[in-house]
Chains A and B, each alone.
Chain A
Amino acid sequence: QSALTQPASVSGSPGQSITISCTGTSTDVGAHTHVSWFRQYPDTTPKLIIYEVTNRPSGVSNRLSGSKSGNTASLTISRLRVDDEADYYCYAYSASADTFVFGTGTKVTVL
């Protein structure tokens, strides 16, 4: 049950686009579409921003988009804003163990 691998930090200027990667294996990220992304501000509850690789819950900005290629899922934030500064976590189902795993987390900084 090793954590999915994310970059520790990603930064960008307002208006730019950034992409956060989430690398797993052929038994979790690469095995199906059950990959989600969460945003967490300091001292707050995680919030779902992407589910099933590409789907946005209602109310989530269309500046956020998800994708997947092989064993790596990605979250792209377009037209970066100051309030995008937060921690981001991917989350996937591990089919081989019937368990779940979070990514290591990425801190997004808006310069």
Chain B
Amino acid sequence: EGQLVQSEGISVQPGGSLRLSCAGSGFPFSDYYIHWARQAPGQGLVWVSRITDDGTHTRYADFVKGRFTVSRDNVKNTVYLHMSSLRAEDTGIYYCGAARQWRFDYWGQGTQLTVSS
């Protein structure tokens, strides 16, 4: 059974940086695009970023462009979301999802990020 396992929750001060991880197992990880989405407390899902299966193409939502970078290591079966210049409004649960041919087969359990002084 395939799964995505995300890094543990974390707190950081405004302006800080950190890296979230999303590790796949039990499925051909390198065949899948990985999407990131987030959910602020009590709010809906919002798309954040996407990286292609080979890692050559990335896309970002406007509100993270220039601050977040997504990368992947298909040897380690892991995708990373590098986050910098963090703001209070970046607080929320971050989910990674694996999609192939436009079908999301797997979702991670989510990582709680709190940005607060």
Q: Could you tell me which A residues sit within 8 Å of B by CB distance?
A: 1, 3, 33-34, 36, 38, 40, 45-48, 51-52, 55, 57, 87, 89, 91, 93, 98-105
Contacts and interface: CB of A to CB of B under 8 A. Distances in A.
Q: From DSSP, what is the main secondary structure of chain B's interface residues? A: strand
Contacts of A87: 44
A51 B103 CA distance: 6
A98 B95 CA distance: 20
Interface of B: 35, 37, 44-47, 50, 59-62, 95, 97, 102-105, 107-110
B37 A45 contact: no
8 contacts: A3-B44, A45-B108, A47-B107, A51-B103, A87-B44, A99-B50, A100-B47, A102-B44
Contact of A102 (B47, B62, B104, B105): B47
Most buried by A among B37, B102, B110: B102
A51 B102 contact: yes
Contact of B102 (A52, A89, A103, A104): A52
A64 B37 CA distance: 24
Contacts of B44: 3, 87, 89, 102-105
Contacts of A57: 103, 105
A46 B103 contact: no
A86 to B, nearest CB: 13
Given A99-B61, A102-B46, A45 B107 contact: yes
